Structure 1
Amino acid sequence: MKASIYVPLSLCLANGVLTSPLEPPRPGPQLLTLVFHSADGQYTMRMPADGREHLTKNGMAVNYIDAPDFTAQKQCTFRTPSKVALVNGINSRGLQQILLGPPQPVVGVTCSGTCVPTWIACVNPRTGVELGECCSGYCDKGRCQPWLSPVAAPA
């Protein structure tokens, strides 16, 4: 009876059915937040940077988009009903923005890739290799820095 178990078990091992992967499972796609602003109000989308189009399901004519936690100006595509100029900017608080001209609805958004959060290492200290683009700032002294320095709270 024991011999009948060993044969199927050894076949499964030979085919890799019961073996564990050699590398740990990768986390899912990075999540990002986009805030769409128009003269009539605003709406927010939280979505994965999974390379798939995510429909906005909103017909507001968008003037600009806040991208607080992702390099959306480089890693996203915005589908609109007609041609639009996208201009990158940073507001007075250091928040990344994408300006749309002329204002129009954004039908869908496709984002992919990852970026490095603020204050996290953007360069491997041992190899000197860049670990990625900073989500909302720039790489300085091996760490992602915000576009604007935080203001100290009044005492």
Structure 2
Amino acid sequence: MKASFYVPLSLGLANGMLAHPLEPESSWPQLLTLVFHSADGQYPMRLPADGREHLTNNAMTVNYIDAPDFTAQKQCTFRTPGKVALVNGIDSRGLQQILVGPPQPVVGVTCSGTCVPTWITCVNPRTGAELGECCSGYCDKGRCQPWLSPAALT
């Protein structure tokens, strides 16, 4: 008798969970990590890609920025006290970087949008449409692949 009570109860709970799907992850701003490097040290910054400026609160002169999990060169704006050139680079480990020239403090960062993480599908298999830019690599064979280390090419 007890078993017949628990089966309908379990099915009812399962149906209730299916009726209320989880909130899609894309409704939240994507989080990204940047690591600012200088000759004297480094500091990390974790921020949402919410379209708002996030102050660094650090006067360190920045030579380059590691951007391991977001297409920061394309989807972020870096506020500096002077004119600056930002150039994409890849280090010897295959890590995506932004070179800052001339080196100077980064006062604030504004990022928006989303990107597709490594090893995740980047092309809709039914339509062939791209699902977004890969965060730290390139789209190949329908999945985001990591950047290759320049050292691996030799």
TM-score (norm 1): 0.79
Amino acid in the other structure paired with 2:89: G
Give, in whole Å, the separation in 2 of the partners of 1:37 and 1:108: 15
Partner of 1:56: 56
Partner of 2:69: 69
Give, in whole Å, the separation in 2 of the partners of 1:41 and 1:55: 19
Question: How far does residue 25 in structure 1 lie from its aligned partner after superposition?
Answer: 8.6
CA RMSD of aligned residues (A): 1.7
Which structure would you say has the larger Rg?
A: 1
TM-score (norm 2): 0.79
Give, in whole Å, the separation in 1 of the partners of 2:26 and 2:75: 20
Question: How far does residue 27 in structure 1 lie from its aligned partner after superposition?
Answer: 2.6
Structure with greater proportional helix content? 2
Say if 2:39 is the partner of 1:39. Answer: yes
1:74–1:24 CA distance, 2 compared to 1 (3 A): closer
Return 5+ residue gaps in structure 1 as ranges.
Answer: 1-22, 150-155
1:29–1:129 CA distance, 2 compared to 1 (3 A): same
Question: How far does residue 26 in structure 1 lie from its aligned partner after superposition?
Answer: 5.2
**Helix, strand or coil at the partner of 2:57:** coil
Partner of 1:130: 130
Give deviations 1:13-47, integer Å, cap 9, x for gaps. Answer: xxxxxxxxxx9695310000000000110000000
1:136–1:26 CA distance, 2 compared to 1 (3 A): closer
1:102–1:116 CA distance, 2 compared to 1 (3 A): same
Question: How far does residue 92 in structure 1 lie from its aligned partner after superposition?
Answer: 1.1
Partner of 1:80: 80
Partner of 2:107: 107
Amino acid in the other structure paired with 1:76: C
Return 5+ residue gaps in structure 2 as ranges.
Answer: 1-22, 150-154
Q: Runs in 1 of length 4+ with deviation above 4 angstroms?
A: 23-26
Partner of 1:11: none
Count the aligned residue pairs. 128
Amino acid in the other structure paired with 1:105: P
Partner of 2:30: 30
